[in-house]
């Protein structure tokens, strides 16, 4: 045993010496994992590989490592760990991730690894093996970082790294989840599950439905010059009923990742991406981000070909919630002979304070329970998992729908009963639709590809044009600003980041300003990555929202800052 531990110690130490910590850098593990300039991340990615192997040993399951910086500029990169359920790595391990990433030298790093392993009851140098699925997006630094991750994984005796190639972030998370379910996990399996469940939903659309406006099968998709556009080109070959044109695909080689393109660019700036113009006026368009975990829709306005009508994550959430509620209502209607029991379900919607107030009002009018969490997918996903059916979407277009295992078992049983007693009934079709949604949507993480297909199927079911969707409700005008401060940690918030605890007096000033405006709402929160305070304001007019945001920004500046506030969007 001692010789095995000595071998493990030597392997870790010699490997760590190949990846020295960059001078003067401090790494933090946020919602998106570690992110920085891609050229500065070799040591961090190596150490994350070690941590992933420890996580696999601790859980006895396959975990994932995704190398990506999502919507960030092409020079950035990052790495995040996917837990066995396909979701984000447990928050309990984040402090250890940061400690390992910032260990000042190889010897300190190795000592931390052994200390952490002992605390977690992980046997190093033993017979137990670890398995990690590796994925990366199209960034030029990705291949070198992938090799560093492999060396980190293999620095733990008995650990195996499986390279899944260039994939979207949601694909990697999906593969991890499926691997631990004991089912097939190849990219082709992913494409087949999405295409088959989409076909099922399309086949279950009402026949001869009267459409409220012209429905055009054409869909133009901005791939952000990233991996998502490439994967959609592959997937669309398996789809019927959609005429998809992909622009800004990385394989076209005509643009730079996330530069003037992508969901973040479209949603934040409310402008059309590159390669879209007057010829596309009125067409249904969608945009992915660089790693395809965000999705927004838009339409180029007739009045100005550079401005758009945006359909963000809030409206995607509302569309899905409306559809799903209708299916549950149909399913829970007893048939004429009273043969079927009502399927009891707890349905909840999870938002952050950034959700537009009009969307929250709409969801509540549907009779849905709405919960609010701090900003970050890890908070949203955890809360959504508490429901039988839990929805979450951020305005930026990242979100999904979660189904509890218990609910899916009951739903499958009810579907089987209906197939025997009342096949072809509306109740039976509703059960089949819900089951198809549970297979189409990526329950591990937000997925632009699966989300896009679900949107298209629901619009077809509703008989809706993009205009009908836009008119679901009118967004309240809003404005986001940021204020440079000396120390963002001076602001402490509570109540899902909507109230300021410190500094004392700032919340009172925010409340005073907010009270001046009809339907006014405003909150501030510290950035998770830089010394800025973000300000969000809503009001009944754009002029009022802008004025409220400016007033509150000046208060933040007065309490904490040293520079003039700047527009974020």
Tell me, yes or no, whether 81 lies in a domain: yes
Cα 52 to chain centroid, rounded = 21
In a domain, 203, yes or no: no
What pLDDT sits at residue 341?
58
Residue 267 belongs to domain with CATH number: 3.40.120.10
| Mean pLDDT of all residues in 327-350 | 75
Q: Are residues 14 and 130 in the same domain?
A: yes
Nearest to 388 by CA among 407, 369, 401, 375: 407
Same domain, 16 and 139: yes
Query: How confident is the model at residue 515, as a pLDDT?
Result: 97
Of 311, 345, 367, the last residue of a domain is 311
Query: Is 178 annotated as a binding-site member?
Result: no
Q: Residue 207 falls within a domain, yes or no?
A: no
pLDDT at residue number 529: 67
Residue 493 within a domain: yes
The domain boundary, picked from 156, 183, 210, lies at 183
CATH number of domain containing 419:
3.40.120
Distance, in Å, from the CA atom of 287 to the CA atom of 226, rounded to the nearest integer, reads 11
Active site residue 197: no
299 labelled binding-site residue:
no
Residues 290 and 331 in one domain: no
Total number of domains constituting the chain: 4
On whether both 300 and 341 belong to a single domain, the answer is no
pLDDT tens, 242-285?
999 999 987 766 799 999 999 999 998 889 999 999 899 999 99
CB 144 within 8 A of CB 42: yes
Residue at 209 is within a domain = no
Higher-confidence position of 376 and 461: 461
> CA angle, corner 538, sides to 537 and 544, nearest 5?
95
How is residue 515 written in tokens?
């009270």
What's residue 159's pLDDT? 95
Question: What are the residues facing 130 on neighbouring strands?
Answer: 159
Integer Cα distance of 488 and 306 in angstroms? 35
Check whether residue 528 and residue 422 sit in a common domain: no
CATH of the domain at 514: 3.30.310.50
Tokens standing for residue 237 = 């070959």
Q: Do 242 and 296 fall into the same domain? A: yes
**CA–CA distance, 404 with 159 (Å, rounded to integer):** 32
Let me know if residue 199 belongs to a domain. no
Phi and psi torsions of 146, nearest 5°: -60, -40
* CA atoms within 13 A of residue 476's CA, in its CB half-sphere: 25
Q: Which of 120, 121, 99, 95 is nearest to 110 (CA)?
A: 99
**Secondary structure class of 266 (helix, strand, coil):** helix
Please report the sign of the dihedral spanned by the C-alpha atoms of residue 270, residue 276, residue 278, residue 281. negative
Query: Is 525 annotated as belonging to a binding site?
Result: yes
Distance CA 266, CA 288 (A): 9
Whether residue 145 lies inside any domain: the answer is: yes
Q: Taking a C-beta distance cutoff of 8 angstroms, is the pair 125, 113 a contact?
A: no
Residue found by looking up tokens 């005008």 in the block? 477
pLDDT band at 217 (very low <50, low <70, confident <90, very high): confident
H/E run at residue 300: strand 295-300
293 is in an annotated binding site: yes
Q: Quote the pLDDT of residue 306.
A: 74
Contact 540, 477 (CB under 8 A): yes
Q: Contact at 8 Å (CB) between 238 and 195?
A: yes
Residue 534 in marked binding region: yes
Residues 296 and 350 in one domain: no
Q: Are 403 and 388 in contact (CB under 8 A)?
A: yes
Q: 158 and 83 in one domain?
A: yes
Note the pLDDT of residue 420.
Answer: 86
CB-facing half-sphere around the CA of 536: CA atoms within 13 A: 19
Q: How many angstroms separate the CA atoms of 81 and 75, rounded?
A: 21
Could you tell me which residue, 216 or 90, shows the higher pLDDT? 90
Comparison of pLDDT for 280 and 569, the residue scoring more: 280
What pLDDT does 208 receive? 66
Question: Mean pLDDT, to the nearest integer, of 291-311?
Answer: 89
Percentage of residues of the chain with pLDDT beyond 90: 83
pTM: 0.93
> CB under 8 Å to 525, separation ≥6 — which residues?
353, 375, 491, 493, 497, 533, 534
Query: CA dihedral defined by 537, 542, 546, 548, rounded to 10 degrees?
Result: -50
Confidence of residue 1 (pLDDT cuts 50, 70, 90): low
Q: Are residues 337 and 278 in the same domain?
A: no
557 and 482 share one domain = yes
194 within some domain: no
What does 63-99 look like in DSSP terms, one character per residue? EEEEE--TTS-TTEEEEEEE-TTSSBPPGGGHHHHHH
Active-site residue among 15, 43, 56, 70?
70
Whether residue 179 is found in the same domain as residue 31: yes
Residue 26 sits in the same domain as residue 51: yes
527 annotated ligand-binding residue: yes
Please give the residue range of the domain that contains residue 156. Answer: 2-183
Q: Which of 295, 311, 327 is the last residue of a domain?
A: 311
**How does DSSP classify residue 133?**
E
Give the Cα separation of 154 and 168 in Å (integer): 24
pLDDT of 75 strictly over 50: yes
pLDDT per residue over 177-215, tens digit each? Answer: 999 999 999 999 999 999 999 999 999 999 865 554 456
When pLDDT is averaged across residues 436-459 and rounded to a whole number, the result is 97
Consult the annotation and say whether 49 binds a ligand. no
């Amino acid at each position: 045993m001692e010789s095995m531990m000595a071998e493990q110690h030597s392997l870790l130490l010699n490997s760590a010496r190949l990846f020295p910590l960059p001078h003067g850098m401090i790494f933090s593990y946020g919602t998106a994992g570690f992110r920085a300039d891609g050229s500065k991340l070799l040591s961090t990615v190596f150490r994350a590989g070690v941590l992933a192997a420890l996580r696999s040993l601790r859980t006895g399951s396959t975990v994932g490592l995704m190398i990506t910086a999502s919507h960030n500029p092409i020079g950035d990169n990052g790495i995040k760990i996917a837990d066995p359920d396909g979701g984000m790595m447990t928050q309990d391990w984040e402090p250890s991730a940061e400690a390992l990433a910032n260990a000042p030298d190889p010897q300190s790093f190795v000592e931390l690894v052994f200390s952490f392993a002992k605390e977690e009851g992980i046997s190093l140098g033993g017979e137990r093996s670890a398995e990690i699925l590796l994925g990366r997006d199209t960034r030029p630094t990705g291949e070198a970082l992938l090799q560093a991750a492999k060396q980190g994984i293999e620095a733990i005796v008995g650990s195996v790294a499986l390279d899944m190639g260039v994939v979207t972030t949601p694909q990697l998370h999906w593969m991890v989840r499926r691997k631990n379910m004991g089912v097939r996990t190849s990219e082709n399996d992913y494409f087949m599950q999405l295409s088959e469940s989409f076909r099922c939903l399309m086949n279950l659309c009402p026949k001869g439905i009267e459409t409220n406006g012209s429905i055009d099968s054409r869909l133009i998709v901005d791939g952000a010059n990233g991996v998502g556009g490439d994967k959609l080109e592959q997937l669309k070959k398996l789809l019927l009923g959609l005429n998809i044109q992909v622009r800004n695909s990385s394989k076209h080689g005509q643009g730079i990742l996330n530069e003037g393109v992508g969901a973040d660019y479209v949603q934040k700036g409310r402008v059309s991406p590159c390669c879209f113009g007057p010829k596309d006026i009125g067409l249904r368009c969608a945009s992915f981000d660089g790693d395809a975990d965000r999705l927004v829709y838009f339409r180029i306005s007739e009045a100005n070909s550079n401005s758009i009508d945006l359909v963000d994550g809030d409206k995607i959430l509302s569309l899905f919630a409306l559809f799903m509620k209708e299916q549950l209502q149909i399913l829970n209607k007893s048939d004429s002979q009273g043969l079927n029991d009502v399927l009891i379900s707890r349905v909840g919607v999870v938002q952050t304070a950034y959700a537009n107030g009009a969307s929250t009002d709409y969801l509540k009018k549907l009779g849905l329970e709405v919960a609010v969490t701090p900003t970050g997918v890890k908070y949203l996903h955890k809360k959504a998992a508490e429901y039988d059916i839990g929805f979450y979407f951020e305005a930026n277009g990242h979100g999904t729908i979660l189904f509890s295992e218990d609910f899916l078992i009951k739903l499958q049983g009810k579907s089987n009963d209906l197939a025997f007693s009342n096949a072809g009934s509306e109740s039976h079709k509703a059960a089949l639709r819900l089951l198809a949604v549970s297979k189409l949507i990526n329950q591990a993480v937000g997925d632009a590809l699966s989300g896009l297909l679900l949107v298209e199927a629901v619009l077809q079911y509703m008989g809706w044009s993009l205009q009908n969707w836009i008119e679901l409700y009118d967004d309240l005008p809003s404005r986001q600003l940021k204020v440079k401060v000396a120390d963002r940690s001076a602001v402490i918030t509570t109540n899902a980041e909507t109230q300021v605890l410190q500094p004392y007096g700032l919340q009172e000033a925010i409340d005073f300003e907010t009270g001046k405006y009809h339907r006014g709402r405003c909150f501030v929160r510290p950035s998770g990555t830089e010394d800025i305070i973000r300000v969000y304001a809503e009001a009944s007019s754009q002029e009022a929202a802008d004025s409220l945001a400016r007033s509150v920004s000046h208060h933040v500046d007065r309490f904490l800052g040293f520079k003039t506030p700047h527009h974020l969007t």
